[in-house]
A and B are shown apart, each in its own frame.
Chain A
Amino acid sequence: MSGTFLGMPALPAYGHGNLNATEPFPKAAHRELGNAQLRANLGHATHTIRDKRLKVVAELPDWEDMRDSGSAIKNATMAQLPALLEQFEANFTARGGTIHWARDAQEANEIVTSLVRATGETEVVKVKSMATQEIGLNEYLEDQGIAAFETDLAELIVQLDHDKPSHILVPAIHKNRSQIREIFLREMEDVDPALTDEPARLAEAARRHLRKKFLTAKVAVSGANFGLADTGTLTVVESEGNGRMCLTLPDTLITVMGIEKLLPSWSDLEVFMQLLPRSSTGERMNPYTSLWTGVTPGDGPQNVHLVLLDNGRTAALADEMGRTALNCIRCSACMNVCPVYERTGGHAYGSTYPGPIGAILSPLMTGIKSEKNNSLPYASSLCGACFDACPVKINIPEILVHLRGEDVDSRRATIKVPTQMDLMMKGAEWAFSDGAHLGLLEKGLPLGRLAAGRDKVIKKLPGLAGKWTRSRDLPAPPGQSFRQWWARDHKAPDGVVPGTGTTNGTGTGSPTESEGGQA
C-alpha cells in the first residue's frame, strides 16, 4: 500500500530510534521463554490486570458504545489531522505555549536539548513518556551532558537497574518485589538498608529518593496522553503524583507528543478518560489527571513547550490498511491479554512498543524492511484477544495479516531463492485451488498411515514441519478421505427419523461405522 507519489513529498518518511527488533522475534522469544522467573512474574502480573480490567469494564452498561465512539473519534482525527494540528497549534500558542515540529527522533532530541540548554540547567525530571522512550531522549541528553531522571516508580526501577522497559504501562512488569528491593538496595544511595520487599515500603523509598529532586527541579520533560485541538489543552494521565510534580513545580516544561495524539474537541475527553483508565490499570479512574493549556500566569511552569513528533507516524498514516494503528491510546490492554506477550515479555519485541500493538506499530513506523521488524507481524497466533480488548477497536489481527503480506511481497521482490515456507505455500496453492487436485493428493493418505507405523502416531517430521513435531505428535492420516468416502459409500438416506439416532440401516447415519481405518 506504500509507494511514491509524484509531486508529493517522498513517502513514506520512516521513523528512527528505539523502534526496532534487533533480532528475529522467534529467537528473542526463545531466550525469554527460558527465563522461568520472568514467565512467573509476567504470568502473575498479566492475570492480575486482566481480571481487574474485566471487572471494571463489566460495570459499565455502555462500554461498547464508548468503544464505538472512541474508534470513530480517532478515525475522524486521522482523516482531518492537518487541520486539527493547526487548530491545536493556534490555541496552544495563543495561551503562551510554544510549539516545535520534529520530523524524526534526531530532530526532536535536538530541539529538547537546545530548550534545556537555554535554561542553563543540566538536569531534568521526567514523567513517563512513550514518545521520549521511542526517540531515545535520555541517552541523547546524557551524551549532551544533561542528566534525565525518571520519576515514575517503574521507570525509576528500570533506570536504576540500567534495564529496558518491557511494558508500556508498567515498564518493570518483568520484575517482582524482591528483585526491586535488590535494585533499590544496590542503586539508591540514600536507601534505608532495612528496606523490606513490601510494595508499600518500596514506594516509600522511591518517594524519599525523589522528593528533593522534585522540589528543586527547574526543567521537566513529559509526554502527553491527549491533545485537544479545539482548546489547545494537553493531558497527562498518571497515578503516583510524580506527573503532577513535574508538570507543576519546574519553571520550564517540555512536552513531546506524537502528532496522532490529538482529539478534535475538549468534549471528546469524556469518552477517552473513561476508556483509558479502565483499559489500562483496570481502575474506574486513575488517581491523577493533569490538564494544561499553554501557560497559566502564576500557576505552574511559565516556560511551556510542545514538540510535535512525526518519526514515522506519517508513514503509518500512509498505509490505508494499517493506519488505524495510530488510533492507539497506549492503554496496554492488548498486551495484557496477549498469550504471546504473556510468555515472552516485552523485551522480545525489541521496540519501545511491545505486544500486539507493537507488532504492528513498529513495522508500520519503520517500514517492514527495517532490521528485524519483519518478524514482528508473525508474533501472534491471531487469536484475536487484543482486538476484543482494545478500547478503540483497532483490528490488530487484520493489520498483522496485512503486514505479513507486505513482508512476503517485499521478500518476493528481492530474494530469488524461495524459502521452505514459500515452497510449502506454492504447493498448497496447487493442492487447494482445485478439488480435483486435493482429491488426487488424498490418494496418498495410506502412505502417511504407513509412515505412522503401528502406534499410528507420527513423532518426527523433516524440514519446516519438524517444528511441529518438536512438541506435538501428528495422528496417522485416515485410510480414506471424506471425499473418497462420499463418492464411494455415502448414500442419501431414504427413511430419516429424526431423534432416533439411526437411519435406514446403511450405516450412513453414524460416522462410526466402516471407519475406513480412522479407528
Chain B
Amino acid sequence: MSAREDILNRIGAALRDAPAVPDIPRNYRRVSAMTAEQRLEQLVDRLVDYKASVFVVPAAEAAGKLAELLAGTASVVVPHGLPQEWLSALPPAGTDDAGSPAVAVDSPQRRLTVAELDAVDAVVTAAAVAVSETGTIMLDGSPSQGRRIISLVPDRHVCVLRAADIVEVLPEAVARLEATAPQTWISGPSATSDIELERVEGVHGPRTLDVLILQ
C-alpha cells in the first residue's frame, strides 16, 4: 500500500465515530465600519508603530515625492508594470545628474539576477491592498509589484499605495486577493523579537520600509 493510501486509511479509521462537521460561526467583523479618512489615519498609525516611514500626498504629487525620497539613492529597481508617471520626475536614465538614481526595470524579458539585485539600493513597488487595523500591505506579484525577489533583496523598500486600496479589516483584504497569486504580506520592516522578546527592526528583509500613500 502506498503511504498516501495508508495515511488516508488511517485517517478514515481514526474518524470511525464520524464526528459531525460543525457549522462555522462568523460573527467577527468582516466589513469596515470606518470612513476612508479613519482608515488612512489608522494605517499610518500602525505603520509608524512598526517603524516604517509614511508619507501621504495627493496622487498628483506622486512623482515629485518619489523623486524626493529617492534623491541620494544610487540605484533603484522597479517592476516593469510600475505606473510610468510615478517615475516621471526622476531624470531619465543615463543622465549623469548627481543625486538621482539609476533605475533598473525587472521584467519577464529581463530578469535581474540575485547579484544584481543585491547591488541595488532600493526597490519601488505598488501594492495590491492594505489593512489599516493591522498595518499590513499586501503584494500579489502583479506587474506593478513584480516578482517577490525584487521587494526582498534590496535593503530599502519604497511601497506606493493608493488610499482607495486601504481596507480596515483583514477579511476585506482576503476577499480582494487572488489566493493562487504569489503573495507577500508586509507589516513593517523586517524585525525579530528573538532576543529577550525585545523587538528589533531590520534583519534579513529590507531594513527600511517607506510607504507612500496617494490620496
A residues within 8 Å of B by Cβ?
5, 8-9, 11-13, 41, 44-45, 48-49, 52, 61-62, 65-66, 68-69, 72-73, 75-76, 78-82, 85-86, 95, 100-103, 107, 151-154, 157, 170, 172-173, 176-177, 180, 199-200, 202-204, 206-207, 210-211, 214-216, 228, 230-233, 239-242, 244-245, 247-249, 259, 266-267, 269-271, 273-274, 277, 281, 283-294, 296, 298-300, 308, 310, 314-315, 317-318, 320, 323
B residues within 8 Å of A by Cβ?
2-4, 6-17, 19-30, 46, 50, 108, 111, 114-115, 118, 131, 133-136, 141, 147-149, 152-153, 170-171, 174-175, 179-198, 200, 202-206
Instruction: Check B148 against A300 for contact (C-beta < 8 Å).
Output: yes
Task: Say yes or no: A233-B179 contact (C-beta < 8 A), given A203-B195, A284-B134, A288-B186.
Answer: yes
Task: Say yes or no: A287-B10 contact (C-beta < 8 A), given A62-B27, A75-B19, A232-B180.
Answer: no
Instruction: Check A317 against B135 for contact (C-beta < 8 Å).
Output: no
- A249 and B147 alpha carbons, distance in the complex (Å): 11
Instruction: Check A248 against B148 for contact (C-beta < 8 Å).
Output: yes
- A231 and B133 alpha carbons, distance in the complex (Å): 26
Instruction: Check A82 against B8 for contact (C-beta < 8 Å).
Output: yes
A-B contact pairs, 14 of them (CB 8 A): A9-B13, A65-B28, A101-B7, A154-B194, A180-B195, A199-B198, A207-B204, A231-B179, A239-B190, A239-B191, A270-B170, A288-B186, A288-B190, A296-B181
Instruction: Check B115 against A49 for contact (C-beta < 8 Å).
Output: no
Please name all residues of chain B whose beta carbon is closer than 8 Å to the beta carbon of A230 when the two chains form the complex.
179
Instruction: Check B204 against A101 for contact (C-beta < 8 Å).
Output: no
Partner pick for B185 among A215, A271, A288, A320, CB 8 A cutoff: A288
Please give the distance in Å from A15's CB to the nearest CB on chain B. Answer: 12
Instruction: Check A317 against B11 for contact (C-beta < 8 Å).
Output: yes
Partner pick for A241 among B14, B20, B204, CB 8 A cutoff: B204
Instruction: Check A298 against B135 for contact (C-beta < 8 Å).
Output: no
Instruction: Check A170 against B7 for contact (C-beta < 8 Å).
Output: no
Instruction: Check A11 against B24 for contact (C-beta < 8 Å).
Output: no
Task: Kindly report which residue of chain A lies nearest to residue B7, judged by CB atoms.
Answer: A310
- A80 and B134 alpha carbons, distance in the complex (Å): 31
Please give the distance in Å from A113's CB to the nearest CB on chain B. Answer: 15
Please give the distance in Å from A429's CB to the nearest CB on chain B. Answer: 30
Task: Kindly report which residue of chain A lies nearest to residue B113, judged by CB atoms.
Answer: A215
Instruction: Check A286 against B187 for contact (C-beta < 8 Å).
Output: yes
Instruction: Check B19 against A78 for contact (C-beta < 8 Å).
Output: yes
- A250 and B4 alpha carbons, distance in the complex (Å): 28
